[in-house]
Chain A
Amino acid sequence: MSGFDVAFGWAWLIPTLTAVAFVIVGVGGRRMARLEWGGWVAVAFSFAAMVVGILVAIGEMLAPGSYTDSSVTWISIPGSPGTFPNGVQLDIGILVDPISALMLLVVTVVGFLVLLYSIEYMHHDSGLARYYAELSLFLTAMTGLVLSDNLLEFFLFWELVGVCSYFLIGFYYEKPSAASAAKEAFLVTRVGDVLFLLGIFIYFAVYATSGSAPGWAAGGFKFTNGSAPFLAGAMGGNTPLLTVAGLMMLGGAAGKSAQFPLHVWLPDAMEGPTTVSALIHAATMVAAGVYLLAVVSLFLGFTPTDQLAIVAVGGFTTFFAATMAVVNPDIKRVIAYSTISQLGYMVFAVGAGFTMVGLYHLFTHAFFKALLFLAAGSVIHAVGTQDLFKMGGLRKTMPLTAAAFAIGALSLSGFPGSSGFFSKDDILGSVYATLGTHPQYWPFFLLALLTVFLTAYYIFRAWFLAFGGDGPRDATLPHAHEPGWTMRLPLVVLSALAIGAGALVFDPAFASLLPGIGVPPTFRGADLALSAVSVGLVACGFGLAYSFWGGGRVFELSESTWAARVRALLLHRYYFKAGYDWIGLRATYTVARAADFVERYVIDGTVRGFERLFAGLSDGLRRVQTGVVSDYAAYVVGGLVGFLLLLVFLAPWLLQTVGGG
């Protein structure tokens, strides 16, 4: 064993360190007037977490396998013979395995860089204690999620990252659009969360009662640890119930990873600070859905029906989101759509059975997408607008940012040699190789391939609009300048990673973080032709973007053409948001009105009717209270006479019936 496996015992430190930062900054941050130190506390703790994360990852590279650490029994249910033979034990524990080490690397490295970047980027904002505390809490939740050793614990941290996302999207809560975007994100992902929870229930019912499952500890609702951690390509039982459970997991992942049809929240989440978009809504949290699918595919397996559904959702989302990025005028939203599209690639790969390839793309995507967002943040910080059509010529005043954005764009589009090239072509090549046995993947493969062209087009359109040309189209923009070192350093580091992270997998030690991915990851014989096609598509996209937008040109669409109508459709996001608003406002409101009618007039009406009936009766009855003594005497006499008459007429019948005398 290497000396680094001691780091596995420290894995719990990673979430704990950032949790400590959360408490310090959250409780103490408000006491200082300027709050600068709060940011540095968060940066320092996240740096420490990053160091531990890197050590854990190195340990995994040198000695791949699964390691359990500090598992605490949470709930223990004794077994009962017959229905529940083995009992079940729910733990809160830490499981370090190759893929969680990979995720730790991504989360802690990007987290540290984004926090460092925030120092200058957020300098002018108020509420910084809240900002740094929430980002630290997010890091705790995200690292806790990847270290979870069972699905229930996974779900707890999953909800925690969701609530952090809500807080941070709504960071500028005094802005109505930000507040409503936060609400939207929370509600839409909630749909997925409920499905996820239902899926957990099914798995629990199936595996906790039968007591054994592939990849699960016997008698425990817990991922296996120890000798045989991975079931590469293992399929779970192929029962309808497990198919439903798999679809529920897909629903949960679709909510968190903004896959069709739950994609609407992610573009609106750009209302949060750009740093938050970079860390949470590009590199890490939205990848949690993909990670969930990966974990389920490794430990439980999907049925063939599930796989087709996942491939369909991923492949379609890839294309669908990319089309909306093509026309958007907002620099952050273009990147947001690209995030949805790239997450679609990952889901697509995991669904087709190439879990490690999907995670490989997750890894490279985290760096180049964080780079794109931070470069965009640098631009927004300098010029104070997100509108691409107001920018222009920024490569002259911000050469470093322009270069960083260009590197991110090249990597995103899959320029040969960049990290995105390796991972994306690995996805396309891997799926292409299965098309012979799975012809039903063809349409989604073609959509994914076509997206390569769209990706190159939209991202270079953004680059040309922001950085190309002679100067800003809007003369009122402030004079741009490069930011300080705390913003430049993350850009430089991420640029290096965006270029080099893909090639890391050629190193067998690093590749052990992605067991079974194979080295080298791409150019597997027949893939060469496919890679050539893909590179050709990138070149076409780049060329089209240059001819429309290069050199300061602005491509004008004449109105009333079909193209303009398509653009309007895309700008309205295929009316999905309007449709959901319609469901939320009109449909729900109509149902609520109907329910209100029933409540008001049927249920309350019955109650009020009885009330009115008895009120009327008693109003009539009280007239007998005349106050005249003789009248009362008359009632008494009348009652007496009536009673006597009753006795006279009823007595024989009573005696007969009761059977007395």
Chain B
Amino acid sequence: MSAFSPAGLLALSGALLSIGLFGILTRRNFILLLISIEIAINAAVLNFVYFAAFAGATGGLTGQAIAVVVIGLAATEVAVGLAIVLALNRLRGSINVAEAATLKF
């Protein structure tokens, strides 16, 4: 039933994870950081969905269910993250994470 090979799908989610991690490590803009996190999370969600489909009826709906829960969690996380962004912007007039570094040694 699958139009994609397993290797291609795993490569896709691996690529998405790598792009997300690259964004997390390099971006200084808080919003871009959040978007990078979303990309990385979606790589994981894609894996769940793919393996659930791969397992077919034996696995039940566990993979899909987890995928939906994770999407919900990601939405929540973004809501909290954007709230922090707004608060940070109001406080410092900037959403550059490298500048908000007062909590250190």
Q: Which residues of A contact B (CB under 8 A)?
A: 622-623, 625-630, 633-634, 637
Which residues in B have their C-beta under 8 angstroms from that of A630? 24-28, 33, 97-98
> 19 other contacts beyond A625-B104, A627-B101, with CB at 8 A cut-off?
A622-B105, A626-B101, A626-B104, A626-B105, A627-B102, A627-B103, A627-B104, A627-B105, A628-B98, A628-B101, A628-B104, A629-B33, A630-B25, A630-B27, A630-B28, A630-B98, A633-B25, A634-B25, A637-B24
Q: How far is the CB of A565 from the nearest CB of chain B, in Å?
A: 77
Q: Does B44 contact A (CB under 8 A)?
A: no
Q: For the complex, would chain A's binding face be called helix, strand, loop or mixed by DSSP majority?
A: helix
Which of A622, A623, A629 interacts with B97 by CB under 8 Å? A629
Pairs across A and B, CB under 8 Å, 6 listed: A626-B104, A627-B100, A627-B101, A627-B103, A630-B27, A634-B25
Q: How far is the CB of A645 from the nearest CB of chain B, in Å?
A: 15
Which residues in B have their C-beta under 8 angstroms from that of A625? 104-105
Q: Which residues of B contact A (CB under 8 A)?
A: 21, 24-28, 33, 97-98, 100-105
Which residues in A have their C-beta under 8 angstroms from that of B105? 622-623, 625-627
Closest B residue by C-beta to A631: B101
> Contact at B25–A637, with CB atoms within 8 Å?
yes
Which residues in B have their C-beta under 8 angstroms from that of A623? 105
Closest B residue by C-beta to A628: B101
Closest B residue by C-beta to A634: B25
> Contact at B101–A633, with CB atoms within 8 Å?
no
- Please measure, in the bound complex, the distance between the C-alpha atom of A623 and the C-alpha atom of B105, giving whole angstroms: 6
> Which 8 A-B pairs have CB atoms at the shortest separation, nearest pair first?
A627-B104, A627-B101, A625-B105, A622-B105, A629-B97, A628-B101, A633-B24, A627-B103
Interface centre among B28, B97, B100, B102 (most CB of A within 10 A): B97
Closest A residue by C-beta to B21: A637
Q: How far is the CB of A622 from the nearest CB of chain B, in Å?
A: 4
Which residues in B have their C-beta under 8 angstroms from that of A626? 101, 104-105
- Please measure, in the bound complex, the distance between the C-alpha atom of A130 and the C-alpha atom of B104, giving whole angstroms: 70
Q: How far is the CB of A621 from the nearest CB of chain B, in Å?
A: 9
- Please measure, in the bound complex, the distance between the C-alpha atom of A604 and the C-alpha atom of B24, giving whole angstroms: 49
- Please measure, in the bound complex, the distance between the C-alpha atom of A637 and the C-alpha atom of B24, giving whole angstroms: 9
Which residues in A have their C-beta under 8 angstroms from that of B33? 629-630
Closest A residue by C-beta to B37: A633
Which residues in A have their C-beta under 8 angstroms from that of B21? 637
Closest A residue by C-beta to B25: A634
Closest A residue by C-beta to B24: A633
Which residues in A have their C-beta under 8 angstroms from that of B26? 630
- Please measure, in the bound complex, the distance between the C-alpha atom of A628 and the C-alpha atom of B103, giving whole angstroms: 8
- Please measure, in the bound complex, the distance between the C-alpha atom of A650 and the C-alpha atom of B97, giving whole angstroms: 37
Interface centre among A625, A626, A628, A634 (most CB of B within 10 A): A628
Q: How far is the CB of A7 from the nearest CB of chain B, in Å?
A: 90
Q: How far is the CB of B56 from the nearest CB of chain A, in Å?
A: 25
- Please measure, in the bound complex, the distance between the C-alpha atom of A130 and the C-alpha atom of B103, giving whole angstroms: 71
Q: How far is the CB of B5 from the nearest CB of chain A, in Å?
A: 23
- Please measure, in the bound complex, the distance between the C-alpha atom of A220 and the C-alpha atom of B61, giving whole angstroms: 91
- Please measure, in the bound complex, the distance between the C-alpha atom of A628 and the C-alpha atom of B21, giving whole angstroms: 16
Which residues in A have their C-beta under 8 angstroms from that of B24? 630, 633, 637
- Please measure, in the bound complex, the distance between the C-alpha atom of A628 and the C-alpha atom of B100, giving whole angstroms: 7
> Contact at A628–B97, with CB atoms within 8 Å?
yes
- Please measure, in the bound complex, the distance between the C-alpha atom of A622 and the C-alpha atom of B26, giving whole angstroms: 23
- Please measure, in the bound complex, the distance between the C-alpha atom of A630 and the C-alpha atom of B103, giving whole angstroms: 13
Interface centre among A623, A625, A630 (most CB of B within 10 A): A630
Q: How far is the CB of B36 from the nearest CB of chain A, in Å?
A: 9
Q: How far is the CB of A635 from the nearest CB of chain B, in Å?
A: 11
Closest B residue by C-beta to A627: B104
- Please measure, in the bound complex, the distance between the C-alpha atom of A633 and the C-alpha atom of B104, giving whole angstroms: 15
Which residues in B have their C-beta under 8 angstroms from that of A637? 21, 24-25
Closest A residue by C-beta to B22: A637
Which residues in A have their C-beta under 8 angstroms from that of B97? 628-630
- Please measure, in the bound complex, the distance between the C-alpha atom of A221 and the C-alpha atom of B84, giving whole angstroms: 88
Q: How far is the CB of B9 from the nearest CB of chain A, in Å?
A: 20
Which residues in A have their C-beta under 8 angstroms from that of B98? 628, 630
Which residues in B have their C-beta under 8 angstroms from that of A629? 33, 97, 100
Interface centre among B27, B102, B105 (most CB of A within 10 A): B105
Q: How far is the CB of A655 from the nearest CB of chain B, in Å?
A: 23
- Please measure, in the bound complex, the distance between the C-alpha atom of A28 and the C-alpha atom of B42, giving whole angstroms: 96
Q: How far is the CB of A201 from the nearest CB of chain B, in Å?
A: 64
Q: How far is the CB of A483 from the nearest CB of chain B, in Å?
A: 87
Q: How far is the CB of A630 from the nearest CB of chain B, in Å?
A: 6
- Please measure, in the bound complex, the distance between the C-alpha atom of A629 and the C-alpha atom of B100, giving whole angstroms: 8
Closest B residue by C-beta to A621: B105
- Please measure, in the bound complex, the distance between the C-alpha atom of A30 and the C-alpha atom of B98, giving whole angstroms: 83
Which residues in B have their C-beta under 8 angstroms from that of A633? 24-25
Which residues in A have their C-beta under 8 angstroms from that of B101? 626-628
Q: How far is the CB of B54 from the nearest CB of chain A, in Å?
A: 22
- Please measure, in the bound complex, the distance between the C-alpha atom of A625 and the C-alpha atom of B105, giving whole angstroms: 5
- Please measure, in the bound complex, the distance between the C-alpha atom of A318 and the C-alpha atom of B93, giving whole angstroms: 103
Which residues in B have their C-beta under 8 angstroms from that of A628? 97-98, 101, 104
- Please measure, in the bound complex, the distance between the C-alpha atom of A630 and the C-alpha atom of B27, giving whole angstroms: 8
Closest A residue by C-beta to B97: A629
Which residues in B have their C-beta under 8 angstroms from that of A622? 105
Which residues in A have their C-beta under 8 angstroms from that of B27? 630
Q: How far is the CB of B20 from the nearest CB of chain A, in Å?
A: 10
Closest B residue by C-beta to A637: B21
- Please measure, in the bound complex, the distance between the C-alpha atom of A634 and the C-alpha atom of B98, giving whole angstroms: 13
- Please measure, in the bound complex, the distance between the C-alpha atom of A629 and the C-alpha atom of B102, giving whole angstroms: 11
Which residues in A have their C-beta under 8 angstroms from that of B28? 630
- Please measure, in the bound complex, the distance between the C-alpha atom of A100 and the C-alpha atom of B99, giving whole angstroms: 98
Q: How far is the CB of B89 from the nearest CB of chain A, in Å?
A: 15
- Please measure, in the bound complex, the distance between the C-alpha atom of A481 and the C-alpha atom of B3, giving whole angstroms: 138
Closest B residue by C-beta to A640: B21
